[in-house]
Every structure is written in C-alpha cells, then in structure tokens.
C-alpha cells in the first residue's frame, strides 16, 4: 500500500507540474532568406541587423501574421508605389511651442489605437531639471536630452531645447508596452523600408529637413558634452516613394502630408543621431512548451 501511495503522489506531482508549467511566447519577428525562415527575434532592430549581414534577398515578417515589415529588396528599388499612412494629425501649437516630440508621439500612438492627448504626454515625459547656466569659463551647462526633456516646453521665451529618443520610448511603452520598437542607429534605408510597408515612424530631424549648422550649440551635462543644433525637430514619417519621404509636421499649419527629398531629409536625420521609434501591433501567439 505504501508503494502504491508513493506512486500516486509522484504521479500527482508530475501532473501538477505539467498543469502549472508556464506558456512560452513565440518570437515576434521571423527573418527569411527568400522563402526560408532563418531566425526568430523579439526585437525588430536586432532582426534587421541580423538580416543585413547576409548578401541574399532577405525579409522580416511578423511571425503571427506572415506580414512583411522590412526587406533589403525594397532598398534596391529606385521608385516604388506610394502608400500614405492615414495617421491622425495634431499641431503642437499654440500650447507646446517646444512640444514637437510629444505631439509626434501622440500621432504615433493614435494611429495605432492608443488615444492620448499631447498635453497628457507633455506632463508625463521625464524631465532633466538641470537649469541652464554658465561656468567661470563661459561653458554652457544644461540638462541631458537623452535622459529627459531639457528646458521649458510651454514658453518659447524661456530657455528650452527638447528631448531625444530614450525618454520618448519609455513614455510610449506606458501605453503600447512591448509593441514599441526603438530603431535608433539603423540606416535611413531601413527606416524607409519600414515606412514603405505602411508603418509610421517617429523621428528626430533638423527643422530644415537637411544638414543644418546654422544654430550649432554645445553644452556640458553631468554625463558628458552634447553637441547639436538648436534647430531640432520631430515629425512622423507616413510614406515613401523612393524619391520623397512624406510626414506629419506638428509645427506647420499645413503640416499634414508634408514631403521632402529623401537625400536631404536623410542628412538632417543623420545629423540628429539617427533617432527613430515605431509601434508594431501584434497579438502574441502562445505555444505549449
């Protein structure tokens, strides 16, 4: 009887472990060489960097939908069919003269089904409260836009600059979670490939949408120097046809559906540190372990 009892107890424990065993989420993105899957990734940027190591025709698809998000074949085409993403348009003015980054984020969230007012995002964005000052040698000292918004967002008469990709990513994740993808440091051809698939992308660019050294500025932060231009801006990329990139510009009255030549826009984007964020909607597929 004792042996039977022990056997029953062991069987019960095994059954309990089987029932409580956690489910495993499938990877979000699958890299293909032609039509053959060669790798799975949770992060779109990592998937792109992996695919770019190959000299073959490569593509990246949403694992659960088999929908293409990026392809190196796209980058070889000089002209392509234009698809403009029907994203909501919001102006940063008059409330946020320096609020282009959060206003553009509101557009990115909105097109993906997360309705958040720009003023809410303006209150929620992390700030670096370091005041503008000058040391005895007249070196400018200020906050770090990689850590939080620098300066005043609401009053253009007060010192202010803006915020870079990391705090924006963190704020976006509050609403869209792990569906937020930071694409910073990729090539612009990678960004336009994604936009060409109908996926809008938040970017930082110069306000002239070209290389711009007219208002160069350098200051010291607690983490090191920042060297950039005061003509910093953020827009939402909504389309690409091989010659022009199309975008929503929150600063201009006719900002919806603006366009600029890719060659010059890319220069301004590179100058601002190749910053880009998007949201890839997906329903996680759960598979038994």
Please tell me the pTM assigned to this model: 0.89
pLDDT computed for residue 253 by the predictor: 82
Query: Does the pLDDT of residue 157 top 70, yes or no?
Result: yes
- Domain 100-283 architecture: Alpha-Beta Complex (3.90)
Residue 99 pLDDT > 80: yes
| Tokens describing residue 157 | 């008469």
Sign of CA dihedral 81, 82, 87, 92: positive
Neighbours of 139 (CB within 10 A): 12
Q: Average of pLDDT values for 84-102?
A: 97
On average, the pLDDT of the chain sits at: 90
Q: What residues have CB less than 8 Å from 256, skipping those under 6 apart?
A: 89, 248, 249
The answer to whether 119 and 263 have CB atoms below 8 angstroms apart is: no
Burial of 211 (0-12, 13-18, 19+ CB in 10 A): middle
Higher-scoring residue by pLDDT: 274, 65: 274
Count CA within 13 A, CB hemisphere, residue 146: 13
pLDDT tens for each residue of 6-62: 444 444 444 444 444 444 446 899 999 999 999 999 999 999 999 999 989 999 999
For the chain, the domains span 25-72, 100-283
The per-residue pLDDT for range 116-135, each reduced to its tens digit, is 999 999 999 999 999 999 99
Residue 13, SS3 per DSSP:
helix
pLDDT: is 262 or 81 the higher one? 262
Would you state the pLDDT for residue 280? Answer: 97
- Estimate to the nearest angstrom the gap between the alpha carbon of 286 and the chain centroid: 26
* 149: β partners: 127
Residue 250 pLDDT greater than 90, yes or no: yes
| 78: confidence class by pLDDT, cuts 50, 70, 90 | low
119-122 long-range contacts, CB within 8 A, separation 24+: 119/95, 121/171, 122/95, 122/96, 122/153, 122/154
DSSP 8-state assignment for residue 75: G
The pLDDT value recorded for residue 135 is: 94
- Indicate if the pLDDT at residue 152 is higher than 50: yes
CB 58 within 8 A of CB 70: no
Cα separation, 164 vs 145, whole angstroms:
5
Ramachandran class of 223: left when φ > 0, alpha when ψ lies in -120 to 50, beta otherwise:
alpha
């Amino acid at each position: 009887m004792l042996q039977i009892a022990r056997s029953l107890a062991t069987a019960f424990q095994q059954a309990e472990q089987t029932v409580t065993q956690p489910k495993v989420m499938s990877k979000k993105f699958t890299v293909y060489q032609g039509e053959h899957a060669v790798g799975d990734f949770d992060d779109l940027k990592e998937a792109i960097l992996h695919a770019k190591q190959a000299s073959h025709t490569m593509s990246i698809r949403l694992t659960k939908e088999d929908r293409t998000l990026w392809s190196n074949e796209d980058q070889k085409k000089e002209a392509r069919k234009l698809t403009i993403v029907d994203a909501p348009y919001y102006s940063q003015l008059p409330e946020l003269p320096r609020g282009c980054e959060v206003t553009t984020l509101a557009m990115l969230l909105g097109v993906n089904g997360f309705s958040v007012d720009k003023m809410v995002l303006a209150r929620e964005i992390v700030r670096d409260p370091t005041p503008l000052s000058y040391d005895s040698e007249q070196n400018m000292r200020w906050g770090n836009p990689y850590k939080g918004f620098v300066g005043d967002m609401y009053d253009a008469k007060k010192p202010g600059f803006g915020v870079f990709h990391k705090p924006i990513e963190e704020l976006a994740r509050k609403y869209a979670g792990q569906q937020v993808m930071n694409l910073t440091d990729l090539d612009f051809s990678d960004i336009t490939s994604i936009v060409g698939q109908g996926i809008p992308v938040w970017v930082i660019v110069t306000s002239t949408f070209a290389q711009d050294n007219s208002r160069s500025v350098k200051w010291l932060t607690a983490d090191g120097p920042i060297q950039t231009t005061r003509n910093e801006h953020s827009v939402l990329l909504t389309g690409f046809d091989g010659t022009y990139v199309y975008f929503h510009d929150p600063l201009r009255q006719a900002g919806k559906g603006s366009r600029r030549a890719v060659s010059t826009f890319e220069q301004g984007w590179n100058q601002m540190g190749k910053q880009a964020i998007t949201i890839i909607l997906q329903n996680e597929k759960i598979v038994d372990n």
